[in-house]
Structure 1
Amino acid sequence: MADIIQLLPDHVANQIAAGEVVQRPASVVKELLENAIDAESTEIKLIIKDSGKTLIQVIDNGKGMSVTDARLSFERHATSKIRAAEDLFNLHTKGFRGEALASIAAIAHVELKTKQEQDELGTQIEIEGSDLKAQNVVVTPKGTSLAVKHLFFNIPARRNFLKSNAVELRHIIDEFHRVALAHPSIVFAMYHNGSEIFNLPSSNYRQRVVNIFGGKTNEKLVPVEETTEVLKISGFVGKPEFAKKTKNEQFFFVNNRFIKSPYLNHAINSAFEGLVKDGAHPSYFLNLTVDPKTIDINIHPTKTEIKFDDEHTLYAILRSAVKHSLGQFNIAPVLDFDSDPNLNTPYDYKDKSVATPPTIEVDRDFNPFKEKVSHGVGSSKPAVTFKKQNTSSWDSLYVGLESKSTQQDHNFSEVEFESDSKNETLFDDSQTETTQATYQLHNKYIVSTIKSGMLMIDQHRAHQRVLYENLLKNMTVKEAVSQQLLFPLQLHFSSTELPILIQLKEDLESTGFAFSSVKDHTIEITGVPLGVPESEVSIILEQLISDVEQEVPDSNFSATDLLAKSMAKSLAIKTGQSLNKQEQEHLVNSLFACKEPTVSPTNKTTFITMSVDDIDKKFM
C-alpha cells in the first residue's frame, strides 16, 4: 500500500500559514507596525492605497537589518526574540509568528529596503509569491521600509472574500489605533490614497487619546491609577454620561499589548453598574502591567487573547480601582451629608469660653385689654372697643342696586347654562371611551376587535414598520420635509465615526437632515426630519453608527435600507409609552396600510390574532 502522508512544499506551507496570520489587510498592518516598534523606532509612517488591497507600506527609522538578517527574515520560523523554549514565557517585545513575513511574502509582492546606522549602503529585496526576484545594494535612509503590494494576488478566492474598501479601511484604522495608543512616545502618521488621516506627535498617554479621538474627548476622561503586588493599572475611563452604543472606545493593554478580554470587560461594566443606560458601553483606555511569567500570550494566533494565572484577583482589583476613581472625582453619586461650613466655629473662637447670655426682662403685668395706646401727642384711645358702629351712611351703597340686578338676571342664567353644558360634554366623553375599538395593554400591546376574534399588536414593532416604509419612500423620492433649527446643533465624533457619517451624508439629507459643515471631528446640523426632537438627534446618529459597524456592510449592501432601519428603530415609540385612543387607532390604521404589515424591519412579528374558537377553547 502506498504511503499517504507527504511533506508539503515550502510555498504551499507558507500559503497555509498565511491563512492564520493574514485574514485581511489589517492583519498585515498589525504585523508590520509591531515589527517597526520592536526595531526601536521613534517615527513610523503607514501608507495605504485602496484600503490595503493595492499597497501597504510601513516606513520606520529603527535600527534596520544587516544583509543576512534581511534575507533570513523571510524564512519560516525565523525570529529575533526567542532563543530557547523558556523565552516564550518571558516576552517583553511584541513578538510575531516565526513565519509572519514568510506568510505575507507567499501571498503578495513584497519589497524590503533596510539599512543599519553604521552601514553606508542598505539592502533591497524583492519577493513575489515566496520567489526571490532580486536582492540589491541600494542607497536608503537608516531604518526599514517594507511595502506589501497586490495582497492575495495568487489566491483569488481569498481576495474575493475581502469586504468593501470602507470596511477594510475601518479595520486598518482599528489596528492603527491599538498600536498608536500602546506607544504614545512614538510619532505615528497614516496616509490613505495620498491624503493624511492621522499625524500623531510624541506625547503623554492622555494627549495621545485626545489626538486620536478628538479634542472633546479630554473633558470625558477620568484618570485611573492603582498599584498592587499583582497588578499595576494606569489610564482613563470615560464619564458615564458619554457612554456610547458602540465599543469603539474600549481598549485593554497588557504589557503594552492590545488584548480582548470579555472577563475584564465585565469588571468595567460592573463598576459602571447603575451609571450607564442599558445598551450603552462605557469608554476605557487602560494599561495593565503584570509579570510576563503569569500570562500566556500564545493561546491565539493573533495574540489578542491571553491567559492569566489568577483572573479573579485581577477582576476584583480592576473593578475596585475603576469604582474608586469614579467616586474620587465625584462621577458616581454618593450618599453624603455635607455640613454647612458657615455653621462651623471660626478658628479664632474655637478656644474661647462661652459668654454669659444677655438677660431678658418681661413685664408680667402687661395686659393689652387694659392699657391705652397713644395715637398722637396728648391723645389716647382704647386698643379694643366694642361700640356699635354708625351704619346710617351704608344705605347709600344699595341705591340703584335693585334695578341693576333685574337687568343682570338673564346673564346669570346664561352662566349657569354654560356650566351645565360642559358637564354634559365631559360625561359624553367618558361614555365613548368605554366603547372604543382599541385598548392598550400594559403600555406595550394594542388590543383591537376583528370579525373573527381579537387582534394584538406590538406597538414598538408596528411603529418601526410604519416609520421604515415612510423613510424608505422619502429617501427614494427625495422629498422629505425638514424642519430648520433656530440654533445649529454641533455634534462631536471620533475619527472612526466621522467617515461613516460622511459616507451616509447624502442619504441622511434625503430623510430631512441638513448639514452646514463637517470638519475637525464636528458636524453642524441646521435641520432635522419633521417630528424628530432635537434631543434625539445624537442618539439617532450614534445608533446609526452602531448598526453600520455591526452589520459590516459590503459593496453590494444597501446603505439606504440600513439607514431606514436604524432611524425607524430610534424614532419608534417605546414599550411603556402610553397612547390615547386617537394615537392607537392611527397606529393600527397606518400599520395595515403598509406593504408588509406582518413583520417589523428586522423580520419580527408585529401582531397576532386569536379567533373566537381559540378563546372558547381556553374556557373548556
Structure 2
Amino acid sequence: MITDVSSRIQQLSASVINKIAAGEVIERPASVVKELLENSVDSLATRIDVEIENGGAELIRIVDNGEGIHPDDLELAVASHATSKIISAEDLFQVRTMGFRGEALASISEVSMFRIRSKQADQPLGREMEVHGGLVKEPQACGCPDGTQIEVRELFFNTPVRRKFLKTQSTEFAHISEQFTRIALANPSLHLTLRHNGKLVHDLPAASDLRERLELFFGSELANNLITVEAEHAGTRIWGFAGHPNQHKGTRKNQYLFLNGRWIQDRSLQHALGEAYRGLVMVGRYPVAFLFLEMDPEQVDVNVHPTKAEVRFQDSQVLYRLLLSSIRNRFLSMDLDSKFSLDKRPDDNLPPQSTRKDSQLLQQELATWAKQQLEQRRSEEIANEQGPGQLPFPVTADPVSSPVHDADEPELLQDNWPPAPASSSSGGPAVSSHLTDIAQTHPASPAAEIRAMQVHDCYLVVETTDGITVIDQHALHERIMYERLRERILAGSVEIQKLLIPITVDLPARETGILLDQTDLLNELGIQIQDFGGNTIALVGYPRMMAKADPQSLLQDVVELLESSGRKVERRDLIDKMLHMMACKAAIKAGQRLSLEEMESLLAQRHLCDDHHHCPHGRPTALKLTRSELDRQFGRLG
C-alpha cells in the first residue's frame, strides 16, 4: 500500500530497480527464451537445446556448446548492466551481436529460481551459481561440458500479479515456439532442438539451405511456392524469399523481417511489401515473406526498444524503395498467370469423372437440405395440431457428439475427407419431388415454377412474373449454409461426421496453440480437434455440412480469424464470424457448373431463408431487372 512517504523522492532499492527492469524486458516465458537464445547465439554455439515445462512457467532450460563464461565473470553475468559486448557509448552504433545491454540475466534471475553452469574449453572445471529471486549464492566448482546451461524455474514466483496474467500452457508455449522459430530461421547453420513436457517438438539439424528449414516450419506447399529475392544498393543487401501471390494469409504474422540476423518489426518495410503485391493479393489479405537485410550497423539504431524488436534506420526511404523494387522486378520477370489460372476455374483441369462426382455431391447436399426443411415444416404443422407440450420440430440428430458412423462405411476407408451422405439413388426425381413438396407447403413461393439458366458458371438468371433476377450462386448458397449452421448451433444439434482415421494437419506452433486454446469454442461449432504432438493437430470430427471443405484450409482459416479478431471480441461475435467463414467454405463456388436440378433446388431453398437478399458478409445475392426497365432500355415504351 502506498503511504504518505511516497510523496517524497526516494532512492529505490536494487531489488525494486531490477524488478522494474524485469517488467520491461521479461513479459512472459517467451521473453526469457528469446534472451537466452540470443545469448547462446552470441556465444558462437553450434548446437542449442531448449527444454520447456508447463509452457515455461515451471521450467526453461537452455543448453549450448558455445564459448562459455570465464569462472571469474559468473557473478558479473547476473549483475545489471554488465556485458562483454560493448564498452563505450560509441559501441552502440557498431553492435553486431544479438544482445549488448547486460540486462537480460539480471532481470530473469530477479523473478525466478535461476541456476547457471558454464565452462570454457581451456578450463578443467566448470562453475555453477544459483540466484533465488535476486539473492545470489556463492558460485561453486562443478563438472559440466563446454558451453553454458541455464535453468529458469518458477518464473514470476515472487511477483504473483505477473504470474497471474500468464495465459494457458498452450498459449505460452506457442509464444515460446515463435521465438524459437525466429532464431532458427535467422541461423539455419545452428542445430536446434525444442522439447515441451518431455515431448520432442523440433529437432533441426544444421542446414545449408534456408528453404529446408522453412519447409520444416511452414510445410512443403508454402516452401515450394516461394520466390527468391535478392538485391543490393550502396552496401545494403536484401535477400530471402517472397511468397507466391496465391500464398496469402489473413494476418501479417507470416512476414518475417531480419536485420543483420535479428528479427525486427518495421511498418515502413511492411508497407513496402504490401505495395509490391498491390493488385496481386486481395484487399485484407497479406503476402508471406522471409526477408533478410544486411547493412552497416552505423546506419541503424537498434537501441530504441526494450526488446530490440523495433529499430530506427538512418535512411528508411532507401530501404523502402529497394525492397519494393526488388520484389516487383522479380514478379515482372516471372509468369505468374500459370498459377493464377488454377484458381480461376477449378473444374477446367479436372477429369470429367471428378466434375460429375462433385456435381452429384452438390445435388445430394441440396436435396438432403430440402428434405430436412420439408420434414421440419411438416413437423411444425403436426406440432401445431397437437397443441402445446409437443416438440416444435423433430430431433433429427443428437447434440454435438453425434452421429458416430459405423466403421464399415466405405467413404471413411477410401478417403479421409468423406463426401456428404447420399440422399437418393435417383438424383433428379428426388430433388424434383422435394421441390414439389416445398411448393405445396409454401404456395406463395415464386420458386414453384422456375425458369432459370446459368451464366459463366457463376450467375443464375431467373425469369420472374415482372422481369428477370440475376443471382450470385455462391452468395446465395453461402446465406443458406449460414442460416442452416446457425440454426443447428443454437439448437445444439450440429451433426458431426466422426473420422475413423483422424486427419492430421501440420501448422506453425503459434497457430497450433491458438487452436488448442479454443477447443471448447470449436466443439460448439462442430469442429473437433486433438493435440497430436509437436505442431500437429488431429481433426477427429467436423460438421457434415462441411463435407466438401479442405481440412487444412478450414483450420488455417479458423486460425487466421481467431488471430485477427483480437482479445476483446465478444464470444457471440466470434462465433458469428466463424459461421460466416464456415458457410463460405461450404458453399458452392463461382466457376462451378450446376445441373438444372441443382439450380432448381438451390432456388427453392432461397425462400426458406430469413434474409435471402444478402450473403452473411452483406453482399447482395441478387439483382432485379423489371419488365418495364427492360422495355425502357430497348425503347419499347410509348
TM-score category of the 2 structures, normalised to the smaller one: 0.5 to 0.7
**Deviation at 1:170?**
0.9
Q: What amino acid is the match of 2:96?
A: H
Q: What amino acid is the match of 1:546?
A: E
Q: Does 1:212 align with 2:217?
A: yes
**Deviation at 1:312?**
1.3
Q: Does 1:586 align with 2:586?
A: no
**Deviation at 1:207?**
1.6
2:277 aligns with 272
Q: What amino acid is the match of 1:212?
A: F
2:171 aligns with 167
Q: Is the 8 A contact 1:327 1:333 kept in 2?
A: no
2:556 aligns with 542
Alignment of 1:219-618 (within 5 A): 219-331=224-336, 433-434=465-466, 467-474=485-492, 477=493, 480-482=495-497, 493-498=507-512, 500-501=514-515, 529-532=543-546, 534-535=548-549, 538-550=552-564, 565-571=577-583, 583=605, 585-588=607-610
TM-score by length of 2: 0.66
> Please, which of 190, 202, 224 is the counterpart of residue 194 of structure 2?
190
Q: What amino acid is the match of 1:309?
A: Q
Q: Is the 8 A contact 2:44 2:66 kept in 1?
A: yes
* Matched residue SS, 2:246: helix
In structure 2, C-alpha distance between the alignment counterparts of 1:292 and 1:426, rounded to whole Å: 72
Q: Does 1:74 align with 2:78?
A: yes
Q: Higher mean Cα deviation, 2-11 or 102-111?
A: 2-11
**Deviation at 1:294?**
0.8
* Matched residue SS, 1:225: strand
**Deviation at 1:217?**
3.4
2:43 aligns with 39
Q: Is the 8 A contact 1:25 1:151 kept in 2?
A: yes
Q: Higher mean Cα deviation, 197-206 or 520-529?
A: 520-529
Alignment of 1:100-115 (within 5 A): 100-115=104-119
In structure 2, C-alpha distance between the alignment counterparts of 1:484 and 1:193, rounded to whole Å: 28
Aligned residues: 483
* Matched residue SS, 2:92: helix
Q: Is the 8 A contact 2:250 2:564 kept in 1?
A: no
> Please, which of 124, 129, 144 is the counterpart of residue 125 of structure 1?
129
Q: What amino acid is the match of 2:149?
A: S
**Deviation at 1:569?**
3.4
Q: Higher mean Cα deviation, 237-246 or 75-84?
A: 237-246
* Matched residue SS, 1:51: helix
**Deviation at 1:270?**
1.2
**Deviation at 1:169?**
0.9
Q: What amino acid is the match of 2:495?
A: A
* Matched residue SS, 1:81: coil
Q: Does 1:90 align with 2:91?
A: no
Tell me which structure has the larger Cα radius of gyration.
Answer: 1
In structure 2, C-alpha distance between the alignment counterparts of 1:210 and 1:117, rounded to whole Å: 35
Q: Is the 8 A contact 1:472 1:561 kept in 2?
A: no
What whole-Å deviation, never above 9, does each CA across 1:481-526 have from its counterpart, x for those lacking one?
Answer: 54999x9988664444345556667875775668899689777879
* Matched residue SS, 1:146: strand
In structure 2, C-alpha distance between the alignment counterparts of 1:313 and 1:225, rounded to whole Å: 15
1:449 aligns with none
Q: Is the 8 A contact 2:480 2:609 kept in 1?
A: yes
* Matched residue SS, 1:202: coil
Q: Is the 8 A contact 1:271 1:323 kept in 2?
A: yes
Q: Is the 8 A contact 2:129 2:139 kept in 1?
A: yes
Q: What amino acid is the match of 1:569?
A: M
In structure 2, C-alpha distance between the alignment counterparts of 1:433 and 1:264, rounded to whole Å: 57
Please give the root-mean-square deviation of Cα atoms over the aligned residues, in Å: 4.3
**Deviation at 1:590?**
10
Q: Is the 8 A contact 2:222 2:247 kept in 1?
A: no
**Deviation at 1:229?**
1.3
Change (3 A) 1:431 1:490: same
In structure 1, C-alpha distance between the alignment counterparts of 2:142 and 2:499, rounded to whole Å: 62
Change (3 A) 1:278 1:467: farther
Change (3 A) 1:331 1:460: closer
**Deviation at 1:259?**
0.2
In structure 2, C-alpha distance between the alignment counterparts of 1:104 and 1:265, rounded to whole Å: 32
Q: Higher mean Cα deviation, 94-103 or 280-289?
A: 94-103
What whole-Å deviation, never above 9, does each CA across 1:441-479 have from its counterpart, x for those lacking one?
Answer: 999999xxxxxxxxxxxx9899857634523544xx5x5
